[in-house]
């Protein structure tokens, strides 16, 4: 069950620019397309540049992407499809797949081995297989900067990261955004409601992370700009598939593409996906959901919203979140054997109320502390207690708990990350500890 609804309703095409705009007469706010997507797909495929915003790995969204890809390929001499899901180093992998040297399952296995990205690609099978089957009309492109560069920026600074990533960036890149974009970015992380005044102003705590977001936006926009620059045939089209957070309100990637190619403003469309609780057979219910979620006419979250409803939607979202969380912490587990900064660990643990005794119990494992709180302030563990540490991470709190439970007690740590569990179990052996660790989902 789905609907497409127009949400462009003000002069500015996106909130951060006074350079790129469309006239008020182009407003489509409140236009609801029928359930059958033919008229919507015809409208979208008429554009030269289309951005599709997604929640990753959700089947109804991928079905839309495939339908748009098919229609745009029909309407173009060549369709370039640019994916957030593949880092630039993975282009040879995509080429081997599309050229028939490897099949989908082999491509996924190599994707996991490369490990720079951790998306669940299985839901995209039919989309990618369609592109492979129609390779004369469709070319797949890796479109994103590896996550390692974002980590580098956070740890080593902007100058180091820009130099290391220079191969995939424009000359003299500037990691600066406008306040509306930061406001949007902060709201997506904090959960603060952006569109009503009672949501309050954004906090500054995510300014550093925002730089990392800009780095990814600049790199992806540069890829799209290169494709446009290298295309001499105006019948070629470009489809960009990325998370909503990189596209909403034409911020991030789209604004950087259109700033470099302002002539494309009227040849561009942005579609953002939104899981809806509305009655999708009732236009008034649909518009209440739109304004409740994105504010009134004039906020311009996109040219169109793709509203979808699926009985398994929350399960799909939860599964995707769990998979991404597991993969992220597996990355942490892979590098946990490298010694970190004990001074920073001490400051963090002090701030959360850990005692000097508890820090000493953690010993050399303290630099792997990952917690966001101190369970020992309230746990009151006594000798002989049986302790289950849910979300044990790299084992720091489990080892502290063991000290209090004593030889007559038992501590078991569980975590979703196999690699963190493997590290923790090895550390237990090295410490001569009786604590056991196991991979498990706390929700199962």
Do residues 186 and 120 share a domain? yes
Angle at 66 between CA 118 and CA 327, to 5 degrees: 10
More confident site: 9 or 71 = 71
The strands making up 436-439's β-sheet, listed across from edge to edge, are 386-390, 410-415, 436-439
Centroid of chain to Cα 256: 19
Residue 263 belongs to domain with CATH number: 3.40.50.11550
Q: Is 71 a domain residue?
A: yes
Do residues 19 and 130 share a domain? yes
Rg (CA), the chain: 24
Instruction: Provide the domain limits for residue 413.
Output: 338-439
Do residues 303 and 350 share a domain? no
Q: Is 341 exposed, middle or buried, given 0-12, 13-18 or 19+ CB atoms closer than 10 A? A: exposed
Q: What's the rounded mean pLDDT across residues 27-46?
A: 87
Q: Is 296 a domain residue?
A: yes
Q: What's the rounded mean pLDDT across residues 136-163?
A: 95
What is the distance between the alpha carbons of residues 404 and 53, in angstroms, rounded to a whole number? 50
Instruction: Annotate 19-46 with three-state secondary structure.
Output: CCECCHHHCCCCCECCCCCHHHHHHHHC
Q: What is the pLDDT of residues 80-113, one digit of tens each?
A: 999 999 999 999 999 999 999 999 999 999 999 9
Cβ atoms of 79 and 69 within 8 Å: the answer is: yes
Q: What is the pLDDT of residues 308-364, one digit of tens each?
A: 986 555 555 566 666 666 666 666 666 666 677 788 888 888 888 899 999 999 998
Do residues 107 and 228 share a domain? yes
The CA distances from residue 44 to 37, 49, 212, 302, 309, in Å, are 10, 9, 31, 13, 21
Q: What's the rounded mean pLDDT across residues 146-150?
A: 93
pTM for the whole structure: 0.72
Mean pLDDT across the chain, nearest whole number?
Answer: 88
């Amino acid at each position: 069950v789905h609907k497409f609804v127009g949400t462009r309703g003000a002069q500015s095409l996106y909130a951060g620019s006074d350079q790129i705009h469309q006239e008020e007469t182009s407003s489509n706010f409140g236009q609801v397309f029928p359930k059958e997507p033919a008229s919507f797909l015809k409208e979208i495929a008429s554009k030269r540049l289309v951005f599709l915003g997604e929640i990753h790995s959700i089947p109804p969204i991928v079905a839309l992407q495939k339908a748009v890809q098919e229609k745009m390929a029909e309407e173009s001499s060549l369709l370039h499809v640019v994916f957030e899901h593949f880092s630039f180093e993975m282009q040879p992998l995509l080429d081997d797949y599309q050229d028939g040297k490897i099949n989908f399952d082999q491509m996924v296995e190599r994707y996991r081995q490369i490990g720079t990205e951790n998306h669940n690609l299985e839901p995209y099978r039919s989309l990618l297989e369609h592109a492979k089957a129609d390779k004369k009309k469709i070319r797949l492109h890796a479109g994103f900067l590896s996550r390692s560069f974002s980590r580098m920026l956070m740890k080593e600074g902007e100058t180091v990261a820009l130099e290391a990533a220079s191969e995939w960036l424009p000359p003299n890149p500037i990691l600066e955004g406008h306040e509306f974009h930061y406001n949007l970015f902060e709201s997506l992380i904090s959960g603060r409601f952006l569109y009503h005044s009672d949501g309050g102003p954004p906090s500054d705590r995510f300014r550093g992370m925002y730089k990392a977001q800009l780095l990814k936006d600049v790199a992806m926009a540069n890829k799209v700009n290169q494709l446009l620059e290298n295309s001499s045939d105006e019948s070629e089209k470009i489809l960009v598939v990325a998370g909503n957070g990189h596209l909403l309100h034409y911020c991030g990637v789209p604004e950087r593409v259109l700033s470099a190619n302002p002539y494309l403003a009227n040849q561009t469309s942005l579609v953002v996906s939104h899981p809806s609780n509305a009655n999708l057979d009732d236009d008034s219910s649909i518009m209440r959901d739109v304004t409740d979620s994105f504010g009134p006419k004039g906020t311009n979250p996109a040219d169109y919203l793709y509203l979808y409803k699926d009985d398994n939607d929350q399960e799909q979202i939860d599964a995707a979140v769990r998979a991404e969380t597991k993969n992220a912490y597996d990355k942490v587990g892979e590098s946990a054997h490298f010694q970190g900064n004990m001074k920073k660990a001490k400051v963090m643990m002090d701030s959360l109320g850990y005692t000097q005794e508890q820090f000493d119990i953690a010993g050399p494992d303290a630099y792997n502390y990952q917690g966001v709180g101190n369970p020992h302030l309230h746990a009151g563990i006594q000798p002989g207690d049986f302790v289950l540490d849910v979300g044990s991470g790299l084992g720091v709190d489990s080892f502290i708990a063991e000290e209090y439970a004593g030889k007559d007690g038992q501590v078991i740590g569980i975590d979703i990350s196999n690699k963190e569990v493997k590290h923790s179990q090895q550390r237990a052996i090295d410490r001569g500890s009786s604590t056991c660790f196991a991979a498990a989902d706390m929700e199962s």
